Amino acid sequence: MMSKSIPTLEDLGDVAGKRVLVRTDFNVPMETAADGTRTITDDFRIRAALPTINWLTERGASVVCISHLGRPKGAVEPKYSMNPVAKRLSELAPGVELLENLRFNAGEEKNDPDFVAELIAGVDMYVDDAFGAAHRAHASIVGPPKTLPSAMGRLLQKEVEVLLTLRESPKHPFVAVLGGSKISDKLGVVEALLNVVDSLVIGGAMCFTFLAAQGYSIGDSLFEPDQVETCKRLLSLGKAIHLPEDIIGLDADGKYATYGRRLPPGAKGFDIGPGSAAAFTDIIMESRTVFWNGPMGMFEDERFAGGTRTVAQAMADTKAFTVVGGGDSAAALAQFGFDDQVDHVSTGGGASLELLELGDLPGLAALREAPNAR
């Protein structure tokens, strides 16, 4: 039997007068002032949900948004209140409701049926537009589509289209540029990506576990000893894996220093060097598809931002189809002013990697089983 397809907004039928529950990803970055006031530092995720919200309200639906924010542990924590988000949402989409943080209820992460029943009480339809949470089998993601006519919103639809195209029919050469600090989280996708990409470029803290696996001394750089064997195996698969040839960091006395691939004892690598950045740029310029996840260095510190800035510039300049995933990578791209010069910035870090790795997500599988799915 052919698997059912994921319903889109059009598959909801007439939404006029209907109450529609929209799972959004309003997990926005926040800043806390000295007096405890919390303000949103980037409303990108709220604005990203507007096409779906507006599509529904323009057709006469009343919209109730739900989201999590931060990591409250299943109980009310005022610092994670959705109030600042509700205020911004009321400016961007007047009349749209927003319920309090889903993770104030322990039933959310446990996918508790009682919590699902609470969420869907009085609701006619469900829309999932929270790509950033679609890899979680939480109550608000997989619960409502069991009984309600459901659909993916425009944002989720675009994410799925772009990422599945990368996975299933990318234009070659296809290079994945990986960095950042969450090495063990990302090695699964490295392995899956090796099946679809022509080459991998590795920078960020991730490169040190690979360099250690090749026998280079890495000083006191960030690395994950229990992943060395995995890196050795990945390196032995015979695929092109490009590692930095020079490293910028701090020596044992805390002084700024540039090294080759070998770091002396006590030195810490915090960025790829200019030679590596130039080599990575060439690879990006010569590719037809580029996926980038994870900054090349500790770009929050200007001394170690050079590698990430150069890669961001190459992403903007190349003629390739360019996709950026990952919260920090997207933030870096925006910080350097290139966010409108790539083809797609994914709103989900973990979700984009998992979709590339597995080709499906719990949230998508749930929508495929909704009563209106065909």
CB of 191 to ligand ADP, least distance (A): 17
- Closer residue to Mg ion (CB): 328 or 339: 328
3-class secondary-structure state, position 76 = coil
- Closer residue to Mg ion (CB): 143 or 327: 327
Separation between Cα atoms, residue 194 and residue 181, nearest integer Å: 20
Give strand pairing partners of 140.
Answer: none
CB of 250 to ligand ADP, least distance (A): 10
Q: Would you give the binding string for Mg ion spanning residues 321-340, x where CB under 5 A is met?
A: ------xx------------
- Closer residue to ligand ADP (CB): 66 or 312: 312
Q: Quick check: 156 and 131 in contact, CB under 8 A?
A: yes
CB of 301 to ligand ADP, least distance (A): 8
Sequence-distant (≥ 6) Cβ neighbours of residue 7 within 8 angstroms: 149, 150, 151, 152, 367, 370, 372, 373, 374
Q: Which of 269, 327, 348, 349 is catalytic?
A: 327
Task: Judge whether 36 counts as a catalytic residue.
Answer: no
Give strand pairing partners of 325.
Answer: 293
- Closer residue to ligand ADP (CB): 143 or 325: 325
- Closer residue to Mg ion (CB): 150 or 209: 209
Residue type, 45: R
Nearest to 163 by CA among 129, 200, 131: 131
Q: Give me the residue whose beta carbon is nearest to Mg ion.
A: 328
Q: Measure Cα distances from 114 to 118, 130, 351 in Å.
A: 6, 21, 26
3-class secondary-structure state, position 24 = coil
Task: Judge whether 158 counts as a catalytic residue.
Answer: no
Task: Judge whether 18 counts as a catalytic residue.
Answer: no
For residue 297, give the DSSP letter: S
CB of 325 to ligand ADP, least distance (A): 7
CB of 224 to Mg ion, least distance (A): 16
Q: Which of 132, 294, 306, 350 is catalytic?
A: 350
3-class secondary-structure state, position 150 = strand
128 forms part of the interface with Mg ion (CB under 5 A): no
Residues that bind ligand ADP (CB under 6 A): 179-182, 204-205, 222, 269-270, 293-295, 297-298, 300, 326-329, 349
For residue 319, give the DSSP letter: S
Task: Judge whether 327 counts as a catalytic residue.
Answer: yes
Pairing of strands 199-202, 240-242: parallel
Which residues does the annotation mark as catalytic? 45, 182, 327, 350
- Contact residues for Mg ion, defined by CB under 5 A: 327-328
